[in-house]
Amino acid sequence: MTSLNFRPEQAWGELLLRWWRELSEDTGGRAALRRAPDITAVVLIPAFQRLHRTLLGAGWPDQPWTNDRLAAAAALLAHVRDHGERTLPQAMSDGDKPVVSPLRFMRLLEAPDADALFTGLRRMLPLIKHRTDVLALATDVVNWGDAVKKRWAYAYEWPAKAKSRSAA
């Protein structure tokens, strides 16, 4: 599987960031994306279809797996209020006591597919006050797999006395 990246200096990154910023003016589209219960519902929302068509015009690979993961990323981005510099694992482990416990973080890393990841992250975004790096979130959701899971595990600031998965 080829890695698909959203970087600010690349066309896809610029287009995604512009779409996300414009979403604040499209309150109906943003609300529909935030209420979408699953990826299938996201695909049917005009705000997502605008993003999809825009990215297709910039060379986005039109594959079922890339489109579904893009839909998950778009719906999650509708929950992000502030584009911050911290990635999700950094934001989840911020402070002396992580806002997302190590056990909950481990459960998120066990998400087998885009649907499970979508559900888990949608529940986590309020815990980090809806603030994260928009492009990093989209890139990680689109590329979800072992490489991203390992990178997140290294980026998460594990507490000194984190319980192991088997002890829980």
In the chain, the amino acid numbered 136 is A
- Please provide the CATH number assigned to the domain covering 11-167: 1.10.520.40
From CA 100, how far away is CA 54, in angstroms rounded? 34
Report pLDDT digits (tens) over 47-94: 999 999 999 999 999 999 999 999 999 999 999 999 988 899 999 998
Range with top average pLDDT, 26-30, 113-117, 156-160: 26-30
Closest-CA residue to 49 (of 25, 11, 18, 75): 75
Report pLDDT digits (tens) over 102-114: 999 999 999 998 8
- 99 has pLDDT over 70: yes
